Every structure is written in structure tokens, then in C-alpha cells.
């Protein structure tokens, strides 16, 4: 009699659904699931915390369009993963969380790590279910994988009671389920496309905004043609960076505030009018701005600003529709308009300010100097992972992306602690390629702390990630070590130390050397350049470069304060 265990059924179902990676932290009751997954040819990556495991799995989903699994134990294991599920769902990234849970026969006694897991996951997912029997496992997993990538992508949860893992069933009693095909693709309504182009052609100050939906939807080739054929200025959102290269002559990222404020027609290409785009409201946008939306989620249409045209469907397909008409019409936005002049003028003056800040020779360095030197050494094809407040905001403007899906950051949910998990995911995908690209993880010192122990994971799998910790001794800003010591002498730090502070001059690079990776402590541009060059030359082990910067270093003067009421 041919029997299979629950663990084997899960593993085989994942393999059938083309799931390539499983990230997790094992324990009772799911060790056998990880082992069965390996036996079935799914790569298992053991992480140090479920949150980071879930971040990693979701990044694979974003980068490949097929979900990876995050495997967790019951109770606390699952609860730790909720952060990753929420982040994935907010970002519209597919991920499949599989959680072990307590045995089904302990309703009255109470069980080890008992928790209402299916219910808890509902808030953070599109689909959350427990198979009713072993034979239901393949179809529940197929449904979870399918739900995670069809429609607006997101997180899905499958609950596996401990007693199902090693239970057996005859194979011929299990219904086979084949691999779910990629999501069906739909075009936008023809009348909406015509309406969009009519409005666009009359615009004086048009602007294309390219979001991470365009990156996820792999619309880069069509979008490049659209941009170049139409002559329109474009602005990437943080993770829309690289869909077209940041140094493209029509990229107006360096004049972001002005472009948003003065645009009269905005085309949203896989981007939402949420807080990241200031809701599309004044004073950041013109009160009369006309919005053309391209999105695959109907509920997204009309959020905050009612669009003049709602192009519902797959972005890559819709870009093709737009291109067909543009080609036939031979329409092109002129390059000598007042709009282009104002954008170019603003870009030039902003570039000058950054350049002045970057050229400052003081040590400790400021953010601009650090990023200036980094940007000159980093290969153009590297994957940039970035998080931290100033580190991410300033880094975004100074470190260019040249390829799509090569930037991963705190995203829609503004989550700190995602960096190392994302970097591990990206490095795992690169490892399997013929010419792997480097993964560079640019972290604030606070952001690094959330998942710092994942350095051990990087060392264990010999992933040549370069972590650069921009260390300003705190969250937003910190104290220098003299002031810190004076404060310690004056009294109790729990009442005296500003809540934003962290230990001054902390030796984060030693976390890396503890596990056999390369560690560098740098203070000057020369030290930074040589540490980065050495790390780039080392393609076998990870490195951590701890850059001690001026603890009070800040962003240059901003026209609009960040997220203040007057902003909303």
C-alpha cells in the first residue's frame, strides 16, 4: 500500500505549484515539513526569526512573481510572522505562510502554544484556511498559491495541525491538483484608454508616475517605449526606481516636489495615491490635478482623487494598448515646453545642493558624503536594499537604480527591520544565476538592530551580501560619545537618555566577524572607499561596513515637512 505523510503531501504540493524557496524557523511540529520540502527539491533557508523569514519569502514573491513559503511553528512562531504577512499584504506582494498548530484533539485540555491561528491571519491575508483532512492538502495549497498571485497579490495562510504532519493516508485517496497557471491578463476598457489619451494630449504639465506595481507587473520594456515615444517626464516611486534607469534623461526624480505640485495631468502606473504620494492632495498636488489610473485592483480606483480615466487591468497589457494608439497617432509631447524648463531648472538647483553637501570634507561624514562615495563604487547592476529614516530617504535620492526590481525598502507599510531578510532573499536568487549580481544592504543603525542576527544566516549560507550600516548612534539622530558619557555620569540613563539614542560608536561590524564574515569600521571617505572595494572583491562571504557618521547629520532643508497635518 502506497502511503504518504501530511509533511510529504505539503512538500509535493509546493513543488507542483512551482514553489522554489521555503524560509523558516523550525521546531515542533513542523521540522518534518522542512525535511520533506528539501527531499522534494524545495530549497529550505533556516532563518533566526520568523519575521525576517517572512520578509525574505515575500521578497522572493515580489522578485519572481511566484510565492515562496514562510514556515513557522505554532503560537509565537506564527505571531512573529504576522509582521511579515502584514508588510507583504500592504506591499501587494505574494507570500505563502504555512504554520504548524496544536493537535486537533486538545480542545478541552488546552494545548502547547495554542492560538487561533487561522482567525489571527485573516487580518493580514487574502486567504486563511486549514485543510479539513490530509487529502485536502494539495487543493488548499493550490488555492493559497493561486490567491496570492491572482488579482492584487498578497499574503495567504495555510494552517497545519501537528497531528497532520506525520499522519498517513493512502496516496490513491488524495486528489491530484496540477500547477496553477500564471494569473489571467486583462486589458483596459477601450473607451477608458481613448479618454486617457485625449486628456493626456491636452495636458500642459503632464507627469507619469511609475510605481512598484509596474515593477511587479514586469512592464519595463513597454514603459520605456511609452516614455521615449511620448517624450513625457516620469517620476519613479521608491520601489518604482529602476523600472526605467534613474539616469534616464526624462526622469525628473530630482525635481520630485515641483513635478508633483505643478503637474496638471498625472498618470499613475502601478502606484497608489497613499501617504507616499501625499494622497494626491494639496498642498503637494494641484487642487485641479487630473489623474489617470492604471491598476489591476478595481477598489483602488478613485481612492483620494477621482480619476478622469480608470484603466483597469494588467499594466503590461495596458501599456501595449496605449502604445498602439500613440504609434498610430504619432503624438509626442514637445521637449521645449515651459514645463520641461521648470523641471530642468529645479533638477539642476537640487543637484547643486546635494553636490555641495557631498563635497564637505568634515569627519565624521554626513549622509551625503557617504552616499556620494558609495554611489561611485557600486556596480550599476547591484540590488539595493535600504531602510532607516534618513538613510533610506537620502539614499534614495543619491543611489541610483538602473534595473527593475533592484530596490527593496521599507515600502508601503514603512516597516523597519525588513532589510536583512530582503537581502537574504535577493542573494539566494542571485546565487543560482549564471552571473550573480551583488546585493548591497544599506541600513540605518536602528534598522539593522531589528533583525541583526540574520547576519549569522548570511554567513551560514555564504551569501556575499554587503551590509553598510550608516551609524549615527540613534533613531533619526543620536549623541556623540562624550555627551553620552557625561550623561551617564550625571544620573540614570533610563530617565536622561533621549529615547532616540542608541549606544554611541557601537561596533556593529563585530557582529559580522563573530560569524566569519568581513568587518570594517570606517570614519573617513578613504576608509569607506577601501572597505567597500575590498567587500566588492570578496564574492564568497558577507561583509559589514560600519560607517560612523556625524550623529546630528540631517536631511537638507525640505520644502514640505514630512507627514505633518498641513501636509494632508
For residue 151, the minimal CB distance to ligand ADP (Å) is: 8
Least distance between ligand ADP and beta carbon 214 (Å): 7
Query: How far is CA 460 from each of CA 16, 448, 563, rounded to the nearest angstrom?
Result: 28, 18, 40
Burial of 404 (0-12, 13-18, 19+ CB in 10 A): buried
Check residue 240 for interaction with ligand ADP (CB under 6 A). Answer: yes
CB of 52 to ligand ADP, least distance (A): 21
- With CA atoms as reference, report the closest residue to 87 among 40, 154, 33, 26: 154
Residue 297 interacts with ligand ADP (CB under 6 A): yes or no: yes
Indicate the residue among 211 and 404 with the shorter CB distance to ligand ADP.
211
Helix (H) or strand (E) holding 206: strand 206-210
Among 49, 74, 91, 472, interactor with Mg ion by CB under 5 A: 472
Residue 99 binding partner per list ligand ADP, Mg ion, none, with a CB distance cut-off of 5 to 8 Å that depends on partner kind: none
Q: Which is nearer to ligand ADP, 112 or 562 (CB)?
A: 562
The answer to whether 284 contacts ligand ADP (rule: CB under 6 A) is no
Q: Which of the listed partners (ligand ADP, Mg ion, none) does 240 bind, with a CB threshold of 5 to 8 Å by partner kind?
A: ligand ADP
Q: With CB under 6 A as the contact rule, which of the stretches 268-276, 421-429, 500-508, 550-558 interacts with ligand ADP? A: 268-276
CB-count burial class (<10 Å; 0-12, 13-18, 19+) for 402: middle
- Per partner kind, with CB cut-offs from 5 to 8 A, the member of ligand ADP, Mg ion, none near residue 445 is Mg ion
Long-range residue pairs from 254-257, CB within 8 A, at least 24 positions apart, any chain: 254/346, 254/347, 254/350, 254/351, 254/397, 255/343, 255/344, 255/346, 255/347, 255/350, 257/284, 257/559, 257/560
Could you say whether residue 17 binds Mg ion (CB under 5 A)? no
Q: Judged by CB under 5 A, which of 246, 295, 300, 445 binds Mg ion? A: 445
Whole-number Å distance between alpha carbons of 263 and 160: 51
Alpha-carbon Rg for the chain in angstroms: 25
Nearer to ligand ADP, 317 or 487 (CB): 317
| For ligand ADP, the closer CB: 297 or 308 | 297
Distance, CA of 11 to chain centre: 27
Whether the bond between 283 and the residue before it is cis, its omega within 30 degrees of 0, is yes
- Of 61 and 217, which has the nearer Cβ to ligand ADP? 217
Site stretch for Mg ion (CB under 5 A), options 168-176, 178-186, 279-287, 468-476: 468-476
CB of 94 or CB of 551, closer to ligand ADP = 94
Q: Collect all residues with Cβ–Cβ distance below 8 Å to 238 and sequence separation of at least 6.
A: 212, 276, 392, 396, 407, 409, 411
Q: Which does 403 bind (CB under 5 to 8 A by kind): Mg ion, ligand ADP, none?
A: none
Q: Does 551 bind Mg ion (CB under 5 A)?
A: no
Q: Do 448 and 389 meet the contact criterion of CB atoms below 8 Å apart?
A: no
| Residue reference for cell 521648470 | 342
Instruction: Let me know: does 316 contact 217? Beta carbons within 8 Å.
Output: yes
Are the C-beta atoms of 95 and 128 separated by less than 8 Å? no
Cell numbers found for residue 2: 502506497
SS3 275: helix
Strand, coil or helix: what is 362? coil
Tell me if 189 contacts ligand ADP by CB under 6 A: no
For residue 51, the partner it binds in ligand ADP, Mg ion, none, with Cβ less than 5 to 8 A by kind, is: none
- Which of 49, 43, 50, 48 has its CA nearest to residue 22? 43
| Cβ-based nearer residue to ligand ADP, 399 or 455 | 399
Sign of CA dihedral 248, 251, 255, 257: negative
Binding mask 104-143 vs ligand ADP (x if CB under 6 A, - otherwise)? ----------------------------------------
444 binds Mg ion (CB under 5 A): yes
CA distances from 483 to 187, 367, 444, 498, 504 (A): 61, 21, 21, 12, 10
> Is residue 239 a contact point for ligand ADP (CB under 6 A)?
yes
What are the C-alpha distances in Å from 79 to residues 119, 238, 378, 418?
A: 12, 29, 37, 16
Quick one: cell of 371?
Answer: 552616499
Please tell me whether the peptide bond between 29 and the residue prior to it is cis, using omega within 30 degrees of 0: yes
Q: Is 387 in the site for Mg ion (CB under 5 A)?
A: no
Q: Does 61 bind ligand ADP (CB under 6 A)?
A: no
The reply to whether 419 sits near Mg ion by the rule CB under 5 A is no
Binding mask 385-414 for ligand ADP (x = CB under 6 A): ---------------------------x--
Is 270 a binder of ligand ADP (CB under 6 A)? yes
Count of residues near ligand ADP by CB under 6 A: 23
- Residue 333 in contact with residue 231, Cβ under 8 Å? yes
- Rounded to the nearest whole angstrom, what is the least distance from the CB of residue 414 to ligand ADP in the complex? 11
Residue number of the CB atom closest to ligand ADP = 213
Closer to Mg ion by Cβ: residue 459 or 497: 497
Using CB under 6 A, which of 140, 315, 365, 427 touches ligand ADP?
315
The one among 48, 66, 80, 212 contacting ligand ADP by CB under 6 A: 212
Which of ligand ADP, Mg ion, none has residue 472 at its interface (CB below 5 to 8 Å by kind)? Mg ion
Residues making contact with Mg ion (CB under 5 A):
444-446, 472
Residues making contact with ligand ADP (CB under 6 A):
91-92, 152, 211-213, 216-217, 237, 239-240, 270-272, 274, 276, 295-297, 300, 314-315, 412
Amino acid at each position: 500500500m502506497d502511503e504518504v505523510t501530511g509533511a510529504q503531501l505539503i512538500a509535493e504540493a509546493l513543488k507542483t505549484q512551482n514553489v522554489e524557496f521555503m524560509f523558516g524557523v523550525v521546531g515542533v511540529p513542523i521540522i518534518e515539513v522542512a525535511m520533506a520540502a528539501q527531499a522534494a527539491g524545495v530549497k529550505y533557508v533556516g532563518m533566526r526569526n520568523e519575521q525576517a523569514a517572512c520578509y525574505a519569502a515575500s521578497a522572493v514573491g515580489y522578485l519572481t512573481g511566484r510565492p515562496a513559503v514562510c514556515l513557522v511553528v505554532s503560537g509565537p512562531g506564527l505571531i512573529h510572522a504576522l509582521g511579515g504577512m502584514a508588510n507583504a499584504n500592504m506591499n501587494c506582494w505574494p507570500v505563502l505562510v504555512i504554520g504548524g498548530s496544536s493537535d486537533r484533539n486538545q480542545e478541552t485540555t488546552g494545548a502547547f502554544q495554542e492560538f487561533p491561528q487561522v482567525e489571527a491571519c485573516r487580518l493580514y491575508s487574502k486567504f486563511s484556511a486549514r485543510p479539513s483532512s490530509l487529502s485536502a492538502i494539495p487543493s488548499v495549497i493550490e488555492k493559497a498559491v493561486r490567491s496570492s498571485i491572482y488579482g492584487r497579490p498578497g499574503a495567504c495562510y495555510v494552517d497545519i495541525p501537528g497531528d497532520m504532519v506525520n499522519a498517513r493516508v493512502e496516496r490513491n485517496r488524495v486528489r491530484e491538483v496540477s500547477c496553477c497557471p500564471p494569473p489571467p491578463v486583462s486589458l483596459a476598457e477601450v473607451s477608458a484608454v481613448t479618454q486617457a489619451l485625449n486628456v493626456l494630449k491636452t495636458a500642459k504639465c503632464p507627469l507619469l508616475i511609475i510605481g512598484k506595481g509596474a515593477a511587479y507587473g514586469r512592464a519595463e520594456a513597454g514603459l520605456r517605449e511609452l516614455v521615449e515615444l511620448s517624450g513625457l517626464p516620469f517620476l519613479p516611486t521608491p520601489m518604482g526606481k529602476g523600472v526605467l534607469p534613474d539616469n534616464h534623461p526624462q526622469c525628473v526624480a530630482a525635481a520630485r516636489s515641483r513635478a508633483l505640485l505643478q503637474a496638471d495631468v498625472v498618470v499613475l502606473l502601478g502606484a497608489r495615491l497613499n501617504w507616499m504620494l501625499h494622497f494626491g492632495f494639496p498642498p503637494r498636488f494641484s487642487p485641479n490635478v487630473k489623474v489617470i489610473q492604471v491598476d489591476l485592483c478595481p477598489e483602488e480606483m478613485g481612492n483620494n482623487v477621482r480619476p478622469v480615466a480608470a484603466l483597469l487591468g494588467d499594466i503590461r497589457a495596458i501599456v501595449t494598448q496605449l502604445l498602439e494608439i500613440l504609434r498610430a497617432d504619432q503624438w509626442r509631447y514637445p521637449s521645449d515646453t515651459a514645463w520641461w524648463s521648470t523641471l530642468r531648472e529645479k533638477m539642476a538647483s537640487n543637484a547643486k545642493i546635494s553636490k555641495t553637501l557631498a563635497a564637505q570634507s568634515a569627519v565624521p561624514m554626513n549622509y551625503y558624503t557617504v552616499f556620494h562615495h558609495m554611489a561611485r563604487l557600486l556596480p550599476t547592476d547591484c540590488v539595493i536594499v535600504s531602510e532607516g529614516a534618513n538613510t533610506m530617504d537620502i539614499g534614495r535620492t543619491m543611489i541610483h537604480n538602473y534595473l527593475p526590481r533592484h530596490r527593496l525598502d521599507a515600502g508601503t507599510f514603512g516597516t523597519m527591520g525588513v532589510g536583512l531578510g530582503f537581502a537574504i532573499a535577493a542573494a539566494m536568487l542571485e546565487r543560482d544565476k549564471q552571473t550573480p549580481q551583488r546585493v548591497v544592504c544599506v541600513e540605518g543603525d536602528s534598522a539593522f538592530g531589528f533583525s541583526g542576527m540574520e547576519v549569522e544566516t548570511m554567513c551560514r549560507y555564504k551569501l556575499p551580501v554587503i551590509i553598510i550600516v550608516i551609524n549615527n548612534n540613534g533613531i533619526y539622530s543620536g549623541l556623540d560619545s562624550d555627551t553620552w558619557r557625561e550623561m551617564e555620569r550625571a544620573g540614570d540613563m533610563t530617565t536622561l537618555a533621549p529615547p532616540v539614542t542608541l549606544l554611541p560608536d557601537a561596533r556593529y561590524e563585530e557582529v559580522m566577524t563573530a560569524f566569519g564574515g568581513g568587518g570594517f569600521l570606517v570614519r573617513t571617505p578613504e576608509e569607506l572607499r577601501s572597505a567597500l572595494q575590498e567587500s566588492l572583491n570578496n564574492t564568497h562571504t558577507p561583509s559589514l561596513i560600519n560607517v560612523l557618521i556625524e550623529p546630528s547629520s540631517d536631511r537638507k532643508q525640505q520644502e514640505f515637512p514630512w507627514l505633518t497635518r498641513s501636509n494632508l
